[in-house]
Amino acid sequence: MEDATILYFLSSAVLFAAFLQLLRSGRKRVNLPPSGPYRLPIIGHLHHILSSPLPLHQTLARLASDHGPVLLLRFGSRPVLVVSSPSAAEECLAKNDVVFANRPRLLMGKHLSYNYTNLSSASYGPYWRNLRRFSTLEIFSSARTAALSSLRAGEVRAMLRQLFRSSASGGEQSCSVDMHVKFAELTTNMMMQMIAGRRYYGESGLVGVEEGLRFRRIIEEAFYLSGASNPEDYLPVMKWLGINPLKKRMVKLEEEIDELLQDMVDDQRRHYVERQRQGEEKKTLVHVMLSLQEKDPQFYTDVLIKGTILMLITAGTDTSAGTMEWVLSLLLNHPEVLKKVRAEMDTHVGHDRLLADSDLPNLPYLHNVIKETLRLFPAGPLLAPHESSTECNVAGYDIPRGTMLLVNVYAIHRDPDVWEDPTSFRPERFEGDGAESKGFKHIPFGFGRRGCPGELVGTRIMGLALGSLIQCFEWERVGSEEVDLAERKGLVLPKAVPLVAMYKPRKVMMELLSRL
């Protein structure tokens, strides 16, 4: 009996020691990134963001310069990893691409992305992979981009014609034009022509001018709400208290968007059926999606079609328009660069015809100007947020599961340790092998699974539009002062002061322009 008692206590001691060892081994030492400046209870670091007069990307860039390029902040209840160096961005978007392939569940994704079901907001998984495959093959492929080249050329030609007809005194004197408006109208027309065969702005062939104005207002509201700091995303108590005015605006906008897009889909469905009856080819991207809906109605639902339309409009209009406005602003402040672009145009295109898509590969300096503009003023200064699905390691630090990732492209593109004279406009830095921009030093379109799928279309639109404007018109500033390059708060880095420029037709292009 005594032996049994001793054996019992020995067994218990061994089990208890094993249990303690298991506990100790489970307590892995966690090496978290620096947490930056002081944080407050409950709200964490949010007070640094909300009290700053600067745009979010600039505020985060200042925190990075003071506390390091890898920071783990707390936005209320959310851990937020902010990376501001090429090496850290590479670790997140390449080495840990799958880990960070998720999107955080933010309120805007629920109300402005059809409950997280479009390509930009859906979580990584089989559904998202099907969406990506569909978008790559049917919307953003090289073949689709080439097939729509005549449409893009037609819209650029319409803009040139309108500018020429509005020019004063037969083109002898310069007149002013609001290029912020012109670029917005151009990209909206292009995108709506591709999506649904509609033009909202210009001199002829307009469909639904009132609908166009309504779309413009909706897009502006969507960008504002998407860029606004929504307290419910970071402080769940706000949901319980029910005091979130932004949420009310989102719900209202969600209903208005759905009504507008459903009318568009129904109208396109009628046109699609009629074209089928007459044996004609599919004309618009909505027609393409409706044809896929016939084959797989469970996946290609109306909700998916509407979500795709909304994604294309929000991602493909203001981003391209804003970048072109920055490009022309920089060129007006650097007339020597403008002359160099024009000389390239004259050499490779001439004066007897308009610039075409096929000419763009022969205009490297024009592309370098666009690249340098995207370096200084990226359309997405912060990449769309990612979220870690598991624990991972970045720059030697342990990153917990469920951490929101913000890649500060703006800070990377202006880092003096990465770029020589980083705030200067120097397109020549991309010439030759472009060594200065290799790797993750220049990532205006993101990278990896969540990189922007519309990069090819966007660069084609910007190259064709800007090249055509430079080929056909002389451009100069309104006065002697340089164009204001100040930014204002916004999701796609808008200019604080919209660009108004002076222009007149080039004499060598007068005959060609008069025939448009």
Give the SS3 label for residue 81: strand
Residue 155, judged by CB atoms within 10 A of its CB (0-12, 13-18, 19+), counts as buried
Sequence length of the chain is 516
Cα first-last separation, the chain: 109
Q: Is the dihedral of CA 55, 455, 395, 122 positive or negative?
A: positive
- How many Cβ atoms are within 10 Å of 295's Cβ, its own excluded? 8
- Radius of gyration over every alpha carbon of the chain, rounded to an integer in angstroms: 27
Q: Which 3 state secondary structure label does DSSP give 433?
A: coil
Residue among 339, 385, 379, 350 nearest 459 (CA)? 379
Integer Cα distance of 226 and 285 in angstroms: 25
List strand residue ranges (DSSP E) for 106-258, in order.
Answer: 175-178
| Closest residue by Cα to residue 356 from 147, 156, 222 | 156
For 316, residues 6+ apart whose C-beta sits below 8 A from its C-beta are 187, 191, 454, 457, 458
Look at strands 386-387 and 70-75 and give their pairing: unpaired
Is 117 strand, coil or helix? Answer: coil
Q: What is the DSSP track for 390-403?
A: S-EEETTEEE-TT-
Which of 305, 276, 281 is CA-nearest to residue 293?
305
DSSP 349-386: T-SSS---GGGGGG-HHHHHHHHHHHHHS-SSSBPPPE
Do the beta carbons of residue 133 and residue 119 sit within 8 Å? no
Is 452 annotated as ligand-binding? Answer: yes
- Dihedral over Cα of 12, 16, 21, 26: its sign: positive
Residue 78 near residue 385, CB atoms below 8 Å: no
Binding residue numbers for heme: 452
Binding residue numbers: 452
